[in-house]
Structure 1
């Protein structure tokens, strides 16, 4: 009879524990992790698959990588998770992180800047662009609608421009450290 009561007591305790955890009455630590809608701060370093750094929020890393710019303020990036301020893969990748946690995100093109689209490379006569002489190859500019483009070829009569984002078609790797959750 005593063995039956002990087993019943254990089963009741287990049931009560599972009810509390399932109902959210007990803190499972989820309040300290990033969720959609949180405003967070992260330090990050963005790299290509070959290890070349293309962006960072950390001044020392920028200097080591040769991408340091004096005009830039190197501070943690602040954004609202899930708001569309950043690429989808970055937004999704920080969910569940805790303050102080470090993580490496590998983001394929479809969750970054999309695949490279050859139809977004177009050639125009200089006159149609309102130019009297060819622009410098590599020059970046915006059209009258605000779309950014890069000059990839130019001669005395035509200019070829690329409307793809410079990171289109690339897998991006981000080393991320969660600084804070607001």
Structure 2
């Protein structure tokens, strides 16, 4: 029976959870996730976790934050005066915002804190600093 190895294209079903059990993503209600190992498409801990698995094999993978989305980087937190926000926006903690860089790229931000005259926005990945748990089943190996 073949096993998942580097450069294989695989299809997997997965459920991603935080250590408190909260589900943040799952493929169970849609098509399986298809990707090629070794191309950096997924977090390192996920790719490493399915190496050597066989078709129909199920496994739980525990991924420390360092092998997932990394630690929270303080330099990605920025304080912005409320006067720089569009007037129709009333910022609230947890609200998503989009900022455009000078070269035209969009950056996803989350309001981390609302102060009297300013807000603090966070450009870290929402799962940065979190250990993740994935329940995985290999559906196909090509």
Place the TM-score, normalised by the shorter chain, in its bin.
Answer: 0.7 to 0.9
Offset, 1:165: 1.1
Question: Which residue of 1 is the match for residue 110 of structure 2?
Answer: 150
Runs ≥4 residues deviating over 6 A: none
Between the two structures, name the one with larger relative contact order (CA 8 Å, sep ≥ 6): 2
Based on CA coordinates, which of the two structures has the bigger radius of gyration?
1
Equivalences, count: 137
**Aligned with residue 97 of structure 2, among 109, 132, 141:** 141
**Residue aligning to 2:71:** 115
Give distance in 2, aligned partners of 1:160 and 1:100.
Answer: 46
Give the TM-score normalised by the residue count of structure 2: 0.87
User: Secondary structure of the residue that 2:52 maps to in structure 1?
Assistant: coil
Gaps of 5+ in 1: 1-28, 60-73
Note closer, same or farther for the CA distance 1:134–1:154 as it changes in structure 2 (3 Å cut): farther
Describe how 1:1-182 pairs up with structure 2 within 5 A.
32-59=2-29, 74-128=30-84, 130-132=85-87, 134-145=90-101, 146-155=106-115, 157-182=117-142
Contact 1:134 1:154 in 2 (8 A): no
TM-score in terms of structure 1 length: 0.69
Unaligned segments of structure 2, at least 5 residues: none
RMSD (Å) for aligned C-alpha atoms: 1.7
**Bigger proportion of residues as helix:** 1
Alpha carbons 1:116, 1:164 under 8 Å: kept: yes
